């Protein structure tokens, strides 16, 4: 697992208070991890803070799974 993936996973576990095992790449924040829309707003802010990236609202709306987050952040970091 990449550093980014590890870090994303850790943030999700901390913010949503879920079991680490449930945070698979395919897991949906809302459908599988018990988040509501405000939780996801906060989660995206936590990603921005942790990775030093900007995630505009229209991009944030498309981040619905753990993998979406990892991919977006890695793309931003590579750019």
Partner 1 sequence: MFGHLSAPRRVVVTGMGIACPLGLGVEHVWKRMTAGESGLGAIQSFDVSQLPSKVAGQVPSGPKAEGKLDIAEWIPVKDVKKMDRFIQLALVAAEEAVTDAGWKPEDEAARCRTGVMIGSGIGGLPTIYEASVQIYEGKTRRLSPFFIPSALINLASGHVSIKYGLKGPNHSVVTACATGVHALGDAARLIALGDADVMVAGGAEAAVSEIGMAGFCASRALSTGFNDTPTKASRPWDKDRDGFVMGEGAGVLVLEEYEHAKKRGAKIYAEVIGYGMSGDAHHITAPTEDGDGAYRSMKAALASAGLTPDRVQYVNAHGTSTPMGDDIELSAVERLWGDAAKGLAMSSTKSAVGHLLGAAGAVEGIFSILAIRDGIAPPTLNLDSPSRESPIDRVANVAQERRIDVALSNSFGFGGTNASIVFRKAA
- Determine which residue in the list 7, 32, 39, 74 makes contact with partner 1, applying CB under 8 A: 39
Determine the interface stretch with partner 1 among 10-18, 22-30, 58-66, 69-77 (rule: CB under 8 A): 10-18
Q: How far is CA 24 from the centre of its chain?
A: 11
Cα distances (Å, whole numbers) of residue 73 to 19, 25, 34: 23, 14, 22
68 catalytic? Reply is: no
If one asks whether residue 45 binds partner 1 (CB under 8 A), the answer comes out as yes
* Phi, psi (degrees; rounded to nearest 5) at 65: -120, 170
- Determine which residue in the list 41, 59, 61, 75 makes contact with partner 1, applying CB under 8 A: 41
């Amino acid at each position: 697992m990449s550093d980014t993936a590890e870090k994303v996973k850790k943030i999700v576990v901390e913010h949503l208070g879920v079991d680490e095992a449930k945070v698979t790449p395919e897991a949906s924040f809302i459908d599988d991890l018990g988040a509501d829309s405000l939780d996801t707003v906060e989660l995206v802010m936590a990603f921005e803070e942790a990775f030093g990236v900007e995630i505009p609202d229209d991009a944030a709306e498309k981040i619905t799974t753990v993998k979406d987050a990892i991919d977006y952040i890695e793309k931003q970091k590579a750019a």
